[in-house]
Structure formats: structure tokens, C-alpha cells
Copies of this chain bind each other. A is one copy, B any other.
Amino acid sequence: MKAYQHMKKEELLVLKKELEAKLENIKSQGMQLDMSRGKPGEDQLALSMEMLDVVNSSSDMNNEAGIDTRNYGQVDGLPEAKRLLAQMADTSPEKAIVFGNASLNVMFDTISRSMTHGVMGSTPWSKLDNPVKFLCPVPGYDRHFSITEYFGIEMIPVEMTKDGPDMDTVEKLVREDEAVKGIWCVPKYSNPQGYTYSPETVRRFANLEPKAKDFRIFWDNAYAVHHLYPEPKRQDQLPDILALCEETGKPDMVYEFVSTSKVTFPGSGISMMAASEGNRKEILRHLSVQTIGHDKINQLRHARFLKDMDGVREQMNKQGELTLIKFKIVWEVLERELSGLEIGSWEYPRGGYFISFEALEGCAKAIVAKAKESGLTLTPAGASFPYGKDPKDSNIRIAPTYPSLDELKLAGEAFVLCVKLVSIDKILKSK
């Protein structure tokens, strides 16, 4: 296919008419689709229905250590839940604290606690003269950025590469600026690009020399086991940063987060923070004021359903199979309709929940707006950047899992039409 930029104005105008008619046709079908969030599809939810049976009225409600899971107590979680979640994050259970249904909430609380009480004896962040800063690899996860924005933390974007964040910049900023207290990371199958940090990047993380003693890496291993392919050699690997930080003598520098949100049921899962002994002690001291404990029956339910890493792998192979079908539908339409046009590029991640799309500069907002008009809701353009501001206005996050296959096919067609139309408008302006 011919690149749009090499087409004559007249050709583009004719093409535009054609495409507009096609989009009108889709609109007239009354499409109402939401691809804005990484929500599992119904087929994926069905994979966990049996979990609802493993704890029932005739179950032994004592856990493996004889704890009655129905009563109060055990604020750091059941041993079997620690083991399961630690395995998912490829780290050790003694570092784990099991929390409630959402790791996002744990991250929020961690920052909230740092604001009001500091970190291991440091000045509470809210009492510092200058606002705290966080490094934000971009594009990244919008809900991370919402948390730091909420607490008035200044966000500094750092460019993502296929190997992870630009580590030269990270190292420099962390080393030179005491106000830099944290960095948001989705180290495996990153949101939205699906990049996995290289072993070298992870090693450099473990070797950071922060000026601030209370600097922490927020290692959100959200897609730890969320592979698209069952073959181990087609799955990304990520070193255990907690172990590496121990080796470099900086065991306290990182908090790792993991959850079952997209393993079983989103919203009804269990979550974990893994951290050094020092961090764990500190956090448990605070946690014991905040709550008497998390939902242990749900911990038991997860542990009995998923059992161990083999169980997790089996479940995630099924999840991956269903996800891959949807990713392939999106890839197919992108390739068929956009290859060679030079108006956009996209990623081929091996896991995670998103296909990141790079439109021509200055086109993302207009594409999302045009899609919305046609009945297709996408993640707002810019959402993957701090303060919602994509400097190039080019990144769009595609979340293919929630729609049904037929809906997704239609949504894909609508999406590429919007990309084409907005791109033509941009190119026409420059002609």
C-alpha cells in the first residue's frame, strides 16, 4: 500500500469520502463498545467459576496451619496465600504481606502512609518544604499517575524503551535530587506497551544510588504471569528485583506488588506486597492500626483453587489463549488496513492486556474523539502520561479483552477508519 504522505491531495480527498462512508455505515449499526479499560471478557471470567465451589459449607475452614479462616486475625495473611502470590512474583513467601482485593489500593495506602508518617523514620512527605517527586516511565499506567497526582506529588516523565525506562535518566535523577522519592514501574508486559524490563535494566534498578534515603521503587508486577503463549520460550522473564536489591545491599529500596485480579476475578481477588524484612516490619506496624485483617476466606479460596505455580500456569495458559485470540483480531485489522500507510505503528507484546498504538503526532486525541462519535470508547488519549498530557499526542492504548469477538472485529474496523481519517486530515493540512 502507498504511504498517505506520498499521495496527492486529490487522491486523499477521494479516499476520505470513501472512508467516511464506511464509518457512517458502522455508526448506523449503532455500535456501543467500551475498550477503555483492561477488563477481562466473559469467557475469561468463566475460567474461575469453580473457585466459588472450593470453599463451601462442608469445607474445613482451618488453613494448613490450623488457623480458623472465618475469624479475626492473621493480619499479614495465610501462609498458603503468601506462598502462592510470592511464587507468582518469583520471590520468597517470607517477604510477603497479603492484602485485600486490590493491589492498587495497597499502592495508594503506601503513598498515603509515606505522606503522613514518612518511610522508616524519615520526615513525612507532607511535611517536607518541597514537593515530593516521582519518576514516571511513559507511557505508563494511568491509575498510578492518578495516585501521585492526588497526593500533589510532582511527576517527571521518563522515556520508555524496549528494555524498560531510560536508565541513564533514572540513575541521574535519583542520584542528584533528594526530592525524588519513588518511581512507578510495571516491569513485565508494561502497561500499555507490553515491554519487559531487560535483565540489565533490572540490575541497574537494584544498583540505584538514591540521594533520598526514603526513595522506593514501586515495582507493580501486575502482569507477572499474564503470558499470551504457553511455551516458556515465548514468555518474557523478569529477574527477582528483591533478591537483586539484597545482593547490592539495598534490600529496602523496593516494594513489589502482585495480585490475582486478572488471574481469577478482578475486584474479588487477593493481593500482595513483597518487601524486605525492614519494610515488612514497618508496614505491619502501621497496618495493625488500619485493620484487624484482610479477607482470609478469600485467601483460602484462592490457595485451594490455584494450589501452586503449576495451577497458576494452567489457569494462565487458558487466560492467555483467550486473550491471544483477541489480540490477533486487532493485529489482523491493523496489519490489513494500516500496513505501509505510515500513519501508525503498534506493538506485538507477548503478554499483558494492551496493544499500544502510536499514531502520527498530534492525532491521538482526534482519533479517540472520532471513535467516541462512532460509538467506540477508547482510553482517553494522553491517559498513559502524567497529568493526561502526551507531549506528542500520539499514543493510544487498545484494550482488546472486554468486547466479544464480533464486537471486537467491528471495533477494529471502526478504529482503523478513525486512524485513517484523522491522519488524512493532518496530511491534507500540510499539503
Residues of A within 8 A of B (CB): 37, 39-40, 42, 45, 48-50, 52-53, 55-57, 59, 61, 68-73, 100-102, 104-105, 108-109, 112, 115-116, 124, 126-127, 143, 146-147, 150-151, 265-268, 286, 289-298
Identify 17 residue pairs between A and B in the complex whose beta-carbon atoms are under 8 Å apart, listed by A's number.
A48-B70, A52-B57, A52-B59, A53-B56, A70-B267, A100-B100, A100-B295, A101-B295, A104-B292, A109-B290, A112-B116, A116-B126, A124-B126, A126-B127, A150-B289, A268-B295, A268-B297
Report how far A25 CA is from B291 CA in the complex, Å.
Answer: 39
A267 in contact with B53 (CB, 8 Å): no
A267 in contact with B73 (CB, 8 Å): yes
B42, B48, B100: the one contacting A101 at CB < 8 Å is B100
User: Which residue of chain B has the shortest Cβ distance to A124 in the bound complex?
Assistant: B126
Report the minimum CB–CB distance from A121 to chain B (whole Å).
15
Interface of A is mostly: loop
Tallying the copies of this chain within the complex gives: 2
User: Which residue of chain B has the shortest Cβ distance to A149 in the bound complex?
Assistant: B289
B53 in contact with A70 (CB, 8 Å): no
Task: Beyond the given A102-B291, A266-B292, please list 4 additional residue pairs across the A-B interface where CB-CB is below 8 A.
Answer: A42-B68, A48-B70, A100-B101, A150-B286
Report the minimum CB–CB distance from A150 to chain B (whole Å).
5
B289 in contact with A116 (CB, 8 Å): no
Report how far A57 CA is from B286 CA in the complex, Å.
Answer: 37
A151 in contact with B71 (CB, 8 Å): no
Report the minimum CB–CB distance from A146 to chain B (whole Å).
5
A267 in contact with B116 (CB, 8 Å): no
* Chain B residues positioned under 8 Å from A298 (CB to CB): 268, 295, 298
Report how far A37 CA is from B115 CA in the complex, Å.
Answer: 31
* Chain B residues positioned under 8 Å from A49 (CB to CB): 57, 61
B292 in contact with A295 (CB, 8 Å): no
Report how far A57 CA is from B48 CA in the complex, Å.
Answer: 8
Report how far A105 CA is from B55 CA in the complex, Å.
Answer: 25
B59, B100, B124, B267: the one contacting A71 at CB < 8 Å is B267
B50, B61, B267: the one contacting A293 at CB < 8 Å is B267
Report how far A108 CA is from B59 CA in the complex, Å.
Answer: 33
* Chain B residues positioned under 8 Å from A73 (CB to CB): 39, 267
Report how far A109 CA is from B109 CA in the complex, Å.
Answer: 9
* Chain B residues positioned under 8 Å from A126 (CB to CB): 115-116, 124, 126-127
